[in-house]
Chains A and B, each alone.
Chain A
């Protein structure tokens, strides 16, 4: 790690003021929370694997702010980061996750039957539905910090687990580094292929090191369930399909995820999880469920309505462009997903998406007919 703890001793020869980053032009969660006092308190600490406070904050120092979203500006290098650096990360988590307190408990619910409705979002508006989450494998350090040996071990374990899936989950693994041109073309056409990170938010945190070594994509034969190995997290698990049947997407998501977890447990590698933070992932924004459930939906009229952002806020939803986290929308088609990750369960979050999108499609239809939508604007959820 050229930017790792290798150097922490030398840095202690310099005063806090001399080492403290210049955050005067910064607008991210880390910059809002970090103070000289916190930095002074944490600078001589490290996790058992050697991750330091400068490692945690490097991405936030290097990336002052983003035009579309309030970035987190810090990452974890291992499970223990969240404990050793709690004085920095707890306030960030609280700010990012709606006031979540250091004493709060997080609820996990992956029982898809607890979801009400969700199988009938209007496919004239809802082009596709998707649910993703991440999982970290206990005992390994995380993508900003892990070595090639660790990353390869994660890949090996993951591939073993995934290739033992069957039925609707039977599939195949495509390592990035030995992909044929034909395979690559197909994965791009299926919208499955993830590329080497170019976003400086990710590259500055060290997640792109050694690319494409030990990275790959697994997907089922039906192309409705896929797993990314060693991208921004150890595993990213995605269930998706065209149209508006979010219920089916979520069912497959829950069933697949639980099957995978069982297999990992059999190999003595659980997922990183605790009752306070839920599932532990690289970015503090993905703690809890790590779940982003959403749709690509046509809302050309609603999206230009002056209350669009407020409506989204009240529905606890978030908009993105259809190209991913730091893109803009094109042609009135938006990616609408749950804003929350921590403090509510998987079922609760997908329920918000289902109910919220249903409402917004109704609003869109009203606006198409030139009717007002004021009576439909919801109370804060």
Chain B
């Protein structure tokens, strides 16, 4: 092993230096994503010769944004990190992207972490006639390894090994089992699909273009507890995705299990000499800049057929700091008036604060839905911006 030295340097990147910045600068004329809004030829020139200690370069970061000009439903980020150091070496690009994406978050701001579920007020009584299910997810990266766009098979397998060892020591409500994608039996696969647990090989070009699907399904897998209310994805878009979910409207319980499980997992990793990537400015460090901070998306599948057709629906969501998606995931459309409603923010607010916004906001949206069902107006219910 050569330690920190790079015997090859970053050979192809050096080759590119023979071309002028103008010759290498991507054509972003048809693009609409955060990266395209921020990247200028001057910025490109300044950063093109840099690399992280593991060799991730500017072109690696932006490839997905170059290849995917824009998305009809969501404003995409258009860049990814290849390792923890990406956010530092390329801060001249990523700080403005982060600022634009995360509501003006400044390079000097500090992020607050709060995984104490007792701090959540209410949330155990969302109306199950409207709220079909509750779910909270986040991601975690294991310090010392490169991230999914960049990691090698050896690294990915090491992440899997560490993760499965840690998860195997969970007990009680969290006792569970790991299903490696590549060894799954047909029966196991069918069960995981029926439980809505199975994640498939990424097909979204947003993910494919960044290299996250390489070597699929090697070292990818799903762990879940016997109760099927807590699951962990290994080596999908992040090293770990941690998900707490259940049918009905008891978000408090979902969040409590989430915090408890996450804290236990973190302790198990620390016992084995590994910590999660975290710093006081960016919070938890993840592959996509949109997931920095808490990495938390807490949400519900909720029936809002009347509300969603209201002229002010989008405006209300914005004021509540919430976001809508289809029930199929980030780049799908809603079907049958059922929406996935979740927190829009990730960074600059704690976990408790974000889930509180979901709980309070969904409660209000349901009140509005009920009014609209009765043919009543909702103007007096429309909130001020949070």
List residues of chain A with CB under 8 Å of any chain B CB: 1-15, 18-22, 46, 48-51, 54, 58, 61-62, 141, 145, 147-150, 152-153, 177, 203-204, 208-211, 213
Contact = CB atoms under 8 A, between A and B. Distances in A.
B26 A213 contact: yes
Contact of A2 (B13, B51, B210, B218): B210
Nearest to A13: B1
6 contacts: A5-B8, A6-B10, A9-B2, A54-B152, A148-B24, A210-B63
A9 B23 CA distance: 29
B253 interface: no
A5 B67 contact: no
Nearest to A10: B54
B1 A12 contact: yes
A186 to B, nearest CB: 21
Given A147-B19, A149-B16, A149-B20, 16 more contacts: A2-B149, A3-B214, A5-B10, A5-B11, A6-B51, A6-B150, A8-B8, A9-B7, A9-B8, A9-B55, A10-B54, A13-B1, A22-B218, A148-B24, A204-B214, A209-B63
A7 B150 contact: yes
A62 B149 CA distance: 14
Contact of B157 (A18, A54, A145, A204): A18
Contact of A147 (B16, B149, B158): B16
B380 interface: no
Q: Could you say which interface size class chain B belongs to? A: 35 or more
A149 B24 contact: yes
B5 interface: yes
A210 B2 CA distance: 33
Contacts of B146: 7, 10
Nearest to B27: A213
Interface in B1-58: 1-2, 5-8, 10-16, 18-20, 23-27, 30, 51, 54-57
Nearest to B19: A149
Interface in B131-160: 146, 149-150, 152-155, 157-158
A6 B157 contact: no
B63 A2 contact: yes
B82 interface: yes
Nearest to A45: B8
The 6 A-B pairs with the shortest beta carbon distances in the complex, nearest first, are: A50-B11, A149-B19, A14-B154, A6-B55, A2-B211, A50-B12
Contact of A150 (B7, B19, B56, B63): B19
A19 B215 CA distance: 11
B53 to A, nearest CB: 9
B8 A46 contact: yes
B89 interface: no
A19 B153 CA distance: 5
Contact of A1 (B7, B59, B209): B59
B216 interface: yes
A48 B59 CA distance: 19
Nearest to B11: A50
A145 B15 CA distance: 11
A8 B7 CA distance: 9
Contacts of A210: 26, 63, 66-67
Nearest to B154: A14
B106 to A, nearest CB: 29
A10 B11 contact: no
Contact of A4 (B7, B12, B14, B208): B12
B166 interface: no
A147 B12 contact: yes
A58 B2 CA distance: 24
A18 B215 contact: no
